[in-house]
Chain A
């Protein structure tokens, strides 16, 4: 029995023991990290559908991905949507690194899942055809009977069921036999940061000893690109797509869509140590807040982001306005939400200053979205992993395409080139459309 007395729950420390990702820049931790250190880009033309006439024609797509390299038996997951496929690849890497697969005493009822997974991809061709077939030109409405008649023949049952946002959970549970608490949250671009935070909270509470957590998503499809184009959130830059995402640069004009998955294994420290696992880092704090401001706009002073950062730091026992004994600021690195939209990057900068005051300028803050694109629900998990790598490798990933400073954005954005640094404590921000703000603090395990 590996369970823990819930009465000691409040003091339970939580560590990371495995990490994996499937990204537009590759499908394993080491090669993607090298490419991030080299300031490379995962952007290119959209090939999933004919996007040549769309306002935005490019994205950061996952390339040459083969799920059978990761799972034990791909036929079990034959109906999986792209989101579940990405999730499986990332989670298998994390599971392998954790060594849990070889731990015979593992109680799978104490292994939970908390994902921030996006919905599956609409079967657009059949969906559009059904809608057009069911449309009554005279009334300009859908005739339910005609629609149903066509859709019953055109649509595939499994393809529809697999679009439910909790299906990545189901696939991971099947792959690893996890039987503990299982949840999926979908708070847009904040989802997987929030998932990791709540997974951390579930272990602290004593509801599980191990949590598989992270996110997965793709919105690189007709309606996804349409939706973000209509919101004018995407970059519509002409020319080289690798230069389109320009977080914190004065000429930034929107984000570039990415896709993929980041997954981690979280574990109570005692569970990890009892089985001789090596903690990669420790989750120290988590904060969540809502802007409660407007549907499309972020609260302009950065109130919501400052609130989630403040709560996470407080939980980690960190005073943002104090210096450490060696003179360093309270933390060593901020993984910014940094989408490259005008609004986000300004307000995030304001929020960071609100929290760290005069120390903000001494804390490097970069956005990997310039290289990786915006993985939407999966972005936070991938960025959390880069924070763990920054601690372990002593390197900070750069904000690429930074050429024209914005006078209002005056923090250290680690422009264009990776940088060596002593990194012990990182903060990772994710802010979602709709006003959810989530922050994680992760630190070196000692």
Chain B
């Protein structure tokens, strides 16, 4: 039985370089990093005082219809990123939804429109929560639950909890754009967005939807979430005086760790036949996906599986799913965050899959340009992969100078024949995701 093919028709990345694929693509091709000292909170008390923050001009209100502006008050940053990304991807796809124009008939039937979004563990805004907590201190200045229960909790807005449930990304997006089809929220750390795209593919294949808004969004730029990144061993030491643009060195022998970037993105993925029927511009094919779970010696994966075997399994599953061989892959976008243990896991996995020819496969390294984007990574990387195959061009790389067997040292952007681009990532917790993005013919 032939499978329904799935294509990418809308791109909506949201990164430190702004909203949409064009500003990101320009920065990647020019090798221009957006990593800089944090503005949103004073990060000088942490290992890394810099990261990849969205531009100060980012305003979620630009991406919601007037009638929905009030709801932006209950959007955590992660939700704002998803809402901005969704509107951008839908516009890019040329779709009309209720969120684009409520007075015009939608060009996609609401019940055929799904939504799958990868999300992180959303940390509460500490200013707001603490302003409430401090009303419930005992004589020693310690939080007193009995004061809190009796009175203090009333300081929180009634909808407080709904700012931080991971599924509220999809909740807002589905409401704004009237997506009544299957909707899910995948929470597997760095693998989340790739796994969401795989779920959209599966949902479209089985006929439960014709198109999905799909991807992921995450912001760790909040003291609590930021500390968790430190705890997970993800952060380089980088003071405000260091040049953050040169800190992250993926796969380099001198790599010292990563810097976090907030962001993510949504894509419109669609059944090939319905995309063609509506005359959509097709960026690329979403031709195969794979997933696996790593064996982690310490259970939760702080010490990643050095063998790379499971990530290799996910990549091989994606290649099989796409009906291509390792030889057909012309470029690779790994997580490549500059954390030595994770980079070595990826190196081992890529070497398993590609053997000696791994050195001929150019890697695209996003982390020095926009930071490690956590649950949003897969969506940004697949957007970039789609742009690579549609432009037949590789972006530049910066910072790394000695990456051994991997083709990952600093280089300028170049035009190149690209048939299939592999996106892959391991994750804290051991879930692996791989996606093959193909030139659309």
Q: Does A226 reach chain B (CB closer than 8 Å)? A: yes
The interface residues of chain A lying within 8 Å CB-to-CB of B428 are 161, 164, 166
Q: Which of A85-125 contact B (CB under 8 A)?
A: 109, 112-113, 119, 125
The interface residues of chain A lying within 8 Å CB-to-CB of B389 are none
User: Quick one: closest A residue to B137, CB to CB?
Assistant: A132
B376 to chain A, nearest CB (A): 15
User: Considering the chains assembled together, what is the distance between the CA atoms of A152 and B161 in angstroms?
Assistant: 26
**A32-40, A197-205, A344-352 - the one binding chain B:** A197-205
In contact, A294 and B126 (Cβ under 8 angstroms): no
The interface residues of chain A lying within 8 Å CB-to-CB of B131 are 135, 140
B357 to chain A, nearest CB (A): 24
Q: Does A418 reach chain B (CB closer than 8 Å)? A: no
Q: Which of B162-212 contact A (CB under 8 A)?
A: 162, 165-168, 170-172, 174-175, 177-189, 195, 199, 202, 205-206, 208
A187 to chain B, nearest CB (A): 5
Q: Which of A249-295 contact B (CB under 8 A)?
A: 288-295
In contact, A166 and B189 (Cβ under 8 angstroms): yes
Q: Does B228 reach chain A (CB closer than 8 Å)? A: yes
The interface residues of chain A lying within 8 Å CB-to-CB of B186 are 183-185
In contact, A290 and B296 (Cβ under 8 angstroms): no
Contact of B183 among A128, A186, A232, A288 (CB under 8 A): A288
Contact of A230 among B1, B157, B185, B224 (CB under 8 A): B157
The interface residues of chain B lying within 8 Å CB-to-CB of A143 are 42
The interface residues of chain A lying within 8 Å CB-to-CB of B166 are 119, 165, 186
User: Considering the chains assembled together, what is the distance between the CA atoms of A337 and B153 in angstroms?
Assistant: 28
**B291-321 to A contact mask, C-beta < 8 Å, 1/0:** 1111110011110000000100100010000
Q: Does B440 reach chain A (CB closer than 8 Å)? A: no
User: Considering the chains assembled together, what is the distance between the CA atoms of A93 and B436 in angstroms?
Assistant: 38
User: Quick one: closest B residue to A8, CB to CB?
Assistant: B1
Q: Does A63 reach chain B (CB closer than 8 Å)? A: no
Given contacts A112-B293, A231-B159, A435-B175, contact A167 B42 (CB under 8 A): no
Q: Does A157 reach chain B (CB closer than 8 Å)? A: yes
Chain B, interface size category, equals 35 or more
In contact, B183 and A435 (Cβ under 8 angstroms): yes
In contact, B167 and A188 (Cβ under 8 angstroms): yes
**B144-152, B263-271, B399-407 - the one binding chain A:** B144-152
In contact, B180 and A307 (Cβ under 8 angstroms): yes
The interface residues of chain A lying within 8 Å CB-to-CB of B129 are 131
In contact, B183 and A436 (Cβ under 8 angstroms): yes
User: Considering the chains assembled together, what is the distance between the CA atoms of A127 and B105 in angstroms?
Assistant: 49
In contact, B161 and A228 (Cβ under 8 angstroms): yes
User: Quick one: closest B residue to A288, CB to CB?
Assistant: B182
Q: Does A229 reach chain B (CB closer than 8 Å)? A: yes
In contact, A180 and B293 (Cβ under 8 angstroms): yes
User: Quick one: closest A residue to B178, CB to CB?
Assistant: A292
In contact, B160 and A230 (Cβ under 8 angstroms): yes
Q: Does B45 reach chain A (CB closer than 8 Å)? A: yes
Q: Which of B83-127 contact A (CB under 8 A)?
A: 110-111, 114-115, 119, 121, 124, 126-127
User: Considering the chains assembled together, what is the distance between the CA atoms of A170 and B206 in angstroms?
Assistant: 28
**A298-320 to B contact mask, C-beta < 8 Å, 1/0:** 00000110010001000000000
In contact, B228 and A134 (Cβ under 8 angstroms): no
Q: Which of A114-169 contact B (CB under 8 A)?
A: 119, 125, 127-129, 131-132, 134-135, 137, 140-149, 151-152, 155, 157-158, 160-167, 169
User: Quick one: closest A residue to B172, CB to CB?
Assistant: A295
Given contacts A109-B292, A227-B160, contact A161 B183 (CB under 8 A): no
In contact, A198 and B121 (Cβ under 8 angstroms): no
The interface residues of chain A lying within 8 Å CB-to-CB of B302 are 161
In contact, B127 and A141 (Cβ under 8 angstroms): yes
In contact, A160 and B228 (Cβ under 8 angstroms): yes
User: Considering the chains assembled together, what is the distance between the CA atoms of A248 and B228 in angstroms?
Assistant: 42
Q: Does A444 reach chain B (CB closer than 8 Å)? A: no
A117 to chain B, nearest CB (A): 8
In contact, B291 and A288 (Cβ under 8 angstroms): no
Q: Does A50 reach chain B (CB closer than 8 Å)? A: yes
Given contacts A141-B127, A173-B295, A184-B186, contact A227 B161 (CB under 8 A): yes
Q: Does B365 reach chain A (CB closer than 8 Å)? A: no
Contact of B146 among A50, A80, A288 (CB under 8 A): A50
Q: Does B431 reach chain A (CB closer than 8 Å)? A: yes
Contact of A132 among B130, B171, B185, B431 (CB under 8 A): B130
In contact, A181 and B291 (Cβ under 8 angstroms): yes
* Number of A residues with CB within 8 Å of any CB on chain B: 100
Q: Which of A1-60 contact B (CB under 8 A)?
A: 7, 10, 49-55
In contact, B429 and A291 (Cβ under 8 angstroms): no
A375 to chain B, nearest CB (A): 16
User: Considering the chains assembled together, what is the distance between the CA atoms of A247 and B127 in angstroms?
Assistant: 38
In contact, A226 and B153 (Cβ under 8 angstroms): yes
Q: Does B36 reach chain A (CB closer than 8 Å)? A: no
User: Considering the chains assembled together, what is the distance between the CA atoms of A232 and B143 in angstroms?
Assistant: 23
User: Considering the chains assembled together, what is the distance between the CA atoms of A158 and B202 in angstroms?
Assistant: 34
Q: With a 10 A CB-CB cut-off, give which of B131, B174, B290 has the most chain A CB atoms.
A: B174
A18 to chain B, nearest CB (A): 19
User: Considering the chains assembled together, what is the distance between the CA atoms of A435 and B232 in angstroms?
Assistant: 32
In contact, B168 and A295 (Cβ under 8 angstroms): yes
Contact of B45 among A119, A149, A432, A433 (CB under 8 A): A149
Given contacts A222-B145, A289-B180, A433-B162, contact A166 B45 (CB under 8 A): no
In contact, B182 and A187 (Cβ under 8 angstroms): no
The interface residues of chain B lying within 8 Å CB-to-CB of A53 are 145-150
Q: Does A178 reach chain B (CB closer than 8 Å)? A: yes
User: Considering the chains assembled together, what is the distance between the CA atoms of A134 and B290 in angstroms?
Assistant: 43
User: Quick one: closest B residue to A113, CB to CB?
Assistant: B293
In contact, A145 and B430 (Cβ under 8 angstroms): no
Q: Does A76 reach chain B (CB closer than 8 Å)? A: yes
In contact, B45 and A174 (Cβ under 8 angstroms): no
Contact of B130 among A142, A294, A434 (CB under 8 A): A142
Q: Which of B302-346 contact A (CB under 8 A)?
A: 302, 310, 313, 317
In contact, B182 and A142 (Cβ under 8 angstroms): no
The interface residues of chain B lying within 8 Å CB-to-CB of A202 are 202
The interface residues of chain B lying within 8 Å CB-to-CB of A180 are 291-293
The interface residues of chain B lying within 8 Å CB-to-CB of A354 are none
Q: Does A359 reach chain B (CB closer than 8 Å)? A: no
A256 to chain B, nearest CB (A): 17
A290 to chain B, nearest CB (A): 4
In contact, B187 and A296 (Cβ under 8 angstroms): no
Q: Does A207 reach chain B (CB closer than 8 Å)? A: yes
B3 to chain A, nearest CB (A): 9
In contact, A169 and B429 (Cβ under 8 angstroms): yes
Q: Does A68 reach chain B (CB closer than 8 Å)? A: no
A295 to chain B, nearest CB (A): 6
A184 to chain B, nearest CB (A): 5
B372 to chain A, nearest CB (A): 15
A173 to chain B, nearest CB (A): 5
**B211-241 to A contact mask, C-beta < 8 Å, 1/0:** 0000000000001100110011000000000
Q: 12 new A-B pairs (CB below 8 Å) besides A164-B228, A201-B206, A231-B159?
A: A50-B149, A51-B145, A125-B143, A127-B224, A131-B130, A135-B134, A169-B188, A177-B295, A179-B295, A230-B156, A231-B158, A291-B174
Using a CB–CB distance below 8 Å, which chain B residues touch chain A?
1, 41-46, 71, 74, 110-111, 114-115, 119, 121, 124, 126-127, 129-131, 133-134, 137, 141-143, 145-150, 153, 156-162, 165-168, 170-172, 174-175, 177-189, 195, 199, 202, 205-206, 208, 223-224, 227-228, 231-232, 290-296, 299-302, 310, 313, 317, 427-431
Report 14 cross-chain contacts, Cβ distance below 8 Å, ordered by A residue.
A132-B134, A132-B141, A135-B131, A144-B45, A145-B45, A148-B43, A161-B300, A183-B195, A231-B158, A293-B175, A295-B159, A295-B162, A311-B208, A434-B168
